Amino acid sequence: MRRARNAKIVATLGPASTDPDVIGKLFEAGADVFRLNFSHGAHEDHRERYNILRQLEKRSGRPIAILQDLQGPKLRVGRFEDNGVRLERGQAFRLDLDDTPGNGQRVCLPHPEVFSALEEETIILLDDGKLRLQVKRAGNGYAETEVVTGGILSERKGVNVPGVVMPISPLTEKDRADLDFGMELGVDWVALSFVQRPEDVAELRRLVAGRAAIMSKIEKPAALDCLDQLVELSDGIMVARGDLGVELAPEDVPGWQKEIIHACRLAGKPVVVATQMLDSMVDSPAPTRAEASDVATAIYDGSDAVMLSAESAAGHYPVESVEMMDRIIKHTEQHSTYRPIIEALHPETEPNAADAISAAAAQVAQNISSAAIVTYTTSGSTALRAARRRPTAPLLLLTSRLETARRLVLLWGAHSVHTADVKNFQEMVQKATRMAVQEEFARQGDKLVVTAGVPFGTPGATNVLRIAWVE
């Protein structure tokens, strides 16, 4: 099942997409990666969806990537006597650790670590930024604030403190239990929420211990201050525009989105753009024109993947949402403006044989109008180098490791195939041409560019480029 596009689609599973038939239709419509959102649902719900996906993988013969998205530390206010209160601009309002129901003067904020990070004039956002408080005085377990932007505050609404690095781990006890469960299942990617600093990624990497690839979600302004380090330490990045759009001014988000994508492309790391891409399709069978342009912009910027959240998890049109995203990506990539824009960024060739071979493969493939670049990869590093170039020829990736084939599904332009490794040059060429025909990349008489590493099967040892003809 070859996709006629380079960018990939991540679809979130949820109540609207639990049935095996619906999940199968999402895959056929164009979903490449499936997200299990651990902010919702019990472990057994996720296990059932995981098993459905693995059965679908066997039936289709195509690797499917499964992304576990950890909830992270959600800061929320406590309960109210009357379920909520109206806060007026200029009034005093107290946050504290008293767990008795709140009222118009105070409410519990059951996160003692937050208070130690607050200073005078710090801004606190409530309910996705709808309400705004300014700290006037803070101490051990309390903060006296003034309401800057008022409104209705209901119980259990979210709290954001922009511009402050919170002294908390992004991994709660729930996240650790969820992670253990995800590792037991065998997920391919783990997304870490509310990353603030490089140490957060290092903590997760120690726990994962190589069993899955790590994706850092950029949704805190503090993460932007160490963006290059986070890109280097992560296997992939997600531009999580939901919380990022709460803590940043809305007009700042588009520029940062481009900067994050740019940093990932230079580093050769997959990047996903997420949140509200086709949000109106939760309730409507068609998106707004602005949403279609939003998806197209992410594709023009060179994103590896774009993500559907509520659209596929809880909306009324999950399959239609995937179909629409698939159409937008295809039309964008086929437009005459696409290649000039995508090629405006030329990553520098790194001073090593593997990167030199990947750069040469992209150039040769373009010069000879190759039907595909066939790359033998073990760890996936060769594939990352190849995709970093955004070549004009499609990428057919052959790997002997099923976990590598699954992880690479997320990668721009990649069509990964799990197959046995080769032992010599003759077998290398024969298998490359055979698989190119089998996977519908080439026909008799077509030319292929083949890259591999000698000794065969050695991770990171790409040092061979070969032009082959399909006989």
Nearest C-alpha neighbor of 325 from the set 31, 24, 28, 27? 31
**Furthest CA-CA distance within the chain:** 80
pLDDT at 290: 97
β-pair partners for 421: none
Per-residue pLDDT for 457 more than 80?
no
- The CA–CA distances, whole Å, from 80 to 156, 345, 362, 394 equal 9, 53, 61, 57
Q: What DSSP character marks residue 61?
A: T
User: What are the structural domains, with CATH classification, of the chain?
Assistant: 8-73+170-342 (3.20.20.60), 84-160 (2.40.33.10), 353-469 (3.40.1380.20)
Question: How many residues make up the chain in this entry?
Answer: 471
Q: Which of 35, 49, 132, 157 is catalytic?
A: 35
Long-range contacts of 331-339 (CB under 8 A, 24+ apart): 331/296, 332/295, 332/296, 332/299, 332/300, 333/5, 333/6, 333/7, 333/299, 337/300, 338/299, 338/300, 339/392
Nearest C-alpha neighbor of 18 from the set 306, 9, 40? 40
- Digit-coded pLDDT (tens) for 53-86: 999 999 999 999 999 999 999 899 999 999 899 9
- Residue 265, phi then psi, degrees to nearest 5: -65, -40
pLDDT at 460: 67
Q: Which of 62, 157, 217, 241 is catalytic?
A: 217
pLDDT at 349: 86
Q: Which amino acid is at 125?
A: L
Angstrom distance (rounded) from CA 299 to CA 387: 14
Which residues does 458 contact at the CB level (< 8 Å), separation at least 6?
A: 378
Radius of gyration (C-alpha) of the chain in whole angstroms: 24
For 458-464, what is the mean pLDDT?
A: 78
Residue 390 CA, distance from chain mean position: 18
For 275-291, what is the mean pLDDT?
A: 97
Q: What DSSP character marks residue 161?
A: -
Q: Which of 12, 122, 145, 275 is catalytic?
A: 275
How much of the chain exceeds pLDDT 70, in percent? 100
For 311-323, what is the mean pLDDT?
A: 98
Per-residue pLDDT for 462 more than 90?
no
- Residue 344, phi then psi, degrees to nearest 5: -65, -25
Residue 110 CA, distance from chain mean position: 30
For 437-452, what is the mean pLDDT?
A: 96
Read off the pLDDT band of 446 (50, 70, 90).
Answer: very high
pLDDT at 354: 84
Of the candidate ranges 109-118, 349-358, 438-447, the one whose mean pLDDT is the lowest: 349-358
Angstrom distance (rounded) from CA 447 to CA 12: 38
Per-residue pLDDT for 163 more than 90?
no
pLDDT at 347: 85
- Digit-coded pLDDT (tens) for 381-430: 999 999 999 999 999 999 999 999 999 999 999 999 999 989 898 999 99
Per-residue pLDDT for 281 more than 90?
yes
Which tokens in the block code for residue 188?
Answer: 């391919």
pLDDT at 454: 81
157 is catalytic: no
pLDDT at 123: 95
Read off the pLDDT band of 458 (50, 70, 90).
Answer: confident
- The CA–CA distances, whole Å, from 438 to 371, 396, 468, 470 equal 13, 11, 16, 12
Read off the pLDDT band of 155 (50, 70, 90).
Answer: very high
- DSSP H/E element including 398: strand 395-399
pLDDT at 185: 98
SS (H, E, C) 5-46: CCCEEEEEECHHHCCHHHHHHHHHHCCCEEEEECCCCCHHHH
217 is catalytic: yes
Q: What DSSP character marks residue 104?
A: S
β-pair partners for 190: 68, 214
How many of the other CB atoms lie within 10 Å of CB of 317? 21
- Digit-coded pLDDT (tens) for 195-252: 999 999 999 999 999 999 999 999 999 999 999 999 999 999 999 998 898 989 889 9
- Whole-number average pLDDT of the chain: 95
Q: Which amino acid is at 328?
A: I
Q: Which of 25, 47, 54, 76 is catalytic?
A: 76
- The CA–CA distances, whole Å, from 357 to 43, 175, 425, 449 equal 44, 41, 16, 11
Per-residue pLDDT for 461 more than 90?
no
Of the candidate ranges 148-162, 286-300, 346-360, the one whose mean pLDDT is the lowest: 346-360
Do the Cβ atoms of 38 and 70 come closer than 8 Å?
yes
pLDDT at 231: 98
Angstrom distance (rounded) from CA 412 to CA 64: 15
Do the Cβ atoms of 419 and 435 come closer than 8 Å?
yes
Q: Which amino acid is at 301?
A: D
For 114-125, what is the mean pLDDT?
A: 94
